[in-house]
Structure 1
Amino acid sequence: MLKFIFVTILVIFFIRLVAPILFRWLLAFFVKKSLRNGTFFYSNMNQQRPEPQSNGNGRRQGDVKIDYVPEQPDRKDFNGGQYVDYEEIK
């Protein structure tokens, strides 16, 4: 039982005091490293995107084909909807 309490206190101590300091140090290390390499802000700037492949019928893969566009009804007769009377209760 005493060993359990001791280990619990050590874990709480580590989480409460040591982990934030360790996390700040690791975060600063990785940010400095990426700033030094020049990859912090411009990580994907020099990479070329692959060109989509053609699927045989003249269109590239990923293109969208719209066969039918329905007609939109005229909205000139719209009066703003129905209004409902209400009573304010105090």
Structure 2
Amino acid sequence: MAKFLLILLIVSFVVRFILPVILRLLVGKFVRKQAQRYGQQFGGQSFEGAFGTPPPTPPPHGGGNVRVDFIPPKTKKEQSQNFKGGDYVDFEEVK
């Protein structure tokens, strides 16, 4: 009986503490491998930012100044004054 309890205690310890660590490592390697495979298949983008070091951030632009090269001329809409109604659309109620 003591031998059975000792084996049960060891098995429960392995399942509770050691197995999750091993599974986490194996699943992590599998996910990285699949991400690299799909990254190469769809455009060659790497997934290093998600699993390794983050990609470098671009430098900030100067001070938030905005320069506008072209401003389109404003036209007044005469359509609202000449509007006499729209097209008739036949409506049928569906229940």
Scaled to the shorter chain, the TM-score interval is 0.3 to 0.5
Larger-gyration structure (1/2): 2
Normalized against structure 1, the TM-score is what?
0.41
Normalized against structure 2, the TM-score is what?
0.39
| RCO comparison, higher one (Cα < 8 Å, 6+) | 2
More helix by share: 2
